[in-house]
Amino acid sequence: MPVVDVKNLEGKKVGQMELADDVFAAPVNPHLLHETVRHYLARRRAGTHKTKQKSEVSGSGRKLWRQKGTGRARIGSIRSPLWRHGGTVHGPVPRSYEYSLPKKMILGALRSALSAKFADEKLTIVEEWKLETHKTKPFRQALDRIDGESKTILLVESGANLNLERASRNLEGVSLVPATAPEPYDLLRHDHLMLSREAAAKLSRALSTTRPEVPVEIEPAQAAPAGKASAAVETKAALKAKAGKRPTAKKEKAKAKPKGKKG
């Protein structure tokens, strides 16, 4: 299993962490990465482009001159697409460029991107993003202590961290994403990847195809007080006794109905 050093915000090694083989040491598939990046960029397109058709261009709709006898080309409208400032034929209209991609392809590309970062030694595990302040300057100094060579850094945190969000949003080249929504495009666009210990564990569990089954612990039911338990048992016994003594509706009707003579 791949082993990564765990560092604190001072840049010192505080331990090691084992990662899943099929997540951080999987074979890199360049074609899969290319397809997922195209899919991601297509979803980000606004699609608000628009050109005016013949009916939308300003101008009179009257015929400029008669059809024959002038020696000029026949024309029906000043808004004709053949004329300057006329309408546009088959121009772009607002639409969505989004298309579907199998979920297995996206997960496979995410494994390839994480494995590529680990293979290039551009992955760092941080013990925890515990910041005392939301100021940008001390956080920039902490990043330089951990890795001062990378120009662009992608930060991944597992939960809400207000100080981390505020301290990182004004830094050029630094982006913060939650552990539940990393994109292969973000991993490829940044030089270095920094994961918190909890985020790395969460990604290993979520993306691993051979993760072990987690045993479910069932807590034993709390015993009821002696008085209440005996009262409940007595109540059930009394209800059963009453139900056994009470005759059914059919039997009561049969007893009440007199027998008639045949013939």
* Distance from C-alpha of 148 to C-alpha of 9, rounded to nearest angstrom: 13
pLDDT tens digits, one per residue of 114-170: 999 999 999 999 988 889 889 999 999 999 999 888 889 999 998 888 999 999 998
* Distance from C-alpha of 1 to C-alpha of 22, rounded to nearest angstrom: 9
* Distance from C-alpha of 17 to C-alpha of 200, rounded to nearest angstrom: 9
Tokens of 240: 């059963």
Per-residue pLDDT for 224 more than 90?
no
pLDDT tens digits, one per residue of 113-122: 999 999 999 9
Average pLDDT in the chain? 83
| pLDDT at residue 214, rounded to an integer | 39
| pLDDT at residue 194, rounded to an integer | 93
* Distance from C-alpha of 44 to C-alpha of 96, rounded to nearest angstrom: 9
Say which amino acid occupies 105.
M
| pLDDT at residue 117, rounded to an integer | 92
pTM over 0.85: no
Tokens of 224: 């009821």
